[in-house]
Copies of this chain bind each other. A is one copy, B any other.
Amino acid sequence: MEPDFDIQKLRSGGFRLTPQRLTIIEVLREAGGHLSAQETYRHARERLPGLTEATVYRTLDFLTAQGVALMTHCGDGHLVYEIADQDHHHLVCRTCGQMAEIEHSLLQDLYDQFMRETGFLVETSHLTFFGQCPKCVDG
């Protein structure tokens, strides 16, 4: 994906491109996975020392509302964020934390089945499954 796609999106939406927003997008992008609000704060603050927690929370909400970031659940019941790129879901190992990606297409059949049986339209947004990775399942 075009690296500055997100930024174009915000600019064309008439939103201001502040160092805080750019830094948080950069942090999420480089993390390449889930970050909690607190983790995002800690990482972003290293690059932008004056940054406050309030701004991080507000910016993450803002980025989620604009569709630049996605919000999901992580193992311990907190919300985590990541850059919204392609449609995929995650398998997370509860033992070692290793993560694998799942194509969305694998889930589409299931969602279709939910629709047929219950009438529910499941949101295709990011989903996380927990389990044991190949290494830890043997241990």
Judge whether B118 and A91 touch: CB under 8 Å: yes
The answer to the question of A110 belonging to the interface, with a C-beta cut-off of 8 Å to chain B, is yes
Question: Given the interface contacts A79-B77, A100-B118, does A94 sit within 8 Å of B123 by beta carbon?
Answer: yes
Give how many copies assemble into the complex.
2
The answer to the question of A24 belonging to the interface, with a C-beta cut-off of 8 Å to chain B, is no
Contact of A133 among B71, B119, B132 (CB under 8 A): B119
Scan A112-139; emit 1 where CB is below 8 A from any B CB, else 0. 0110011111110101011111100100
Determine the chain B residues whose CB is within 8 A of the CB of A123 once the complex forms.
Answer: 94, 129-132
Determine the chain B residues whose CB is within 8 A of the CB of A129 once the complex forms.
Answer: 114, 120, 122-123, 127
Judge whether B134 and A120 touch: CB under 8 Å: yes
Bound Cα distance from A137 to B118, whole angstroms: 12
Judge whether A131 and B120 touch: CB under 8 Å: yes
Judge whether A120 and B132 touch: CB under 8 Å: yes
Judge whether B120 and A91 touch: CB under 8 Å: yes
A-B contacts, 28 listed (Cβ < 8 Å): A71-B77, A73-B73, A77-B77, A91-B114, A91-B118, A91-B120, A91-B122, A93-B120, A94-B123, A100-B118, A102-B114, A102-B117, A106-B110, A106-B113, A106-B114, A106-B117, A114-B129, A118-B134, A119-B133, A119-B134, A119-B137, A120-B129, A120-B133, A121-B132, A122-B129, A122-B131, A123-B131, A127-B129
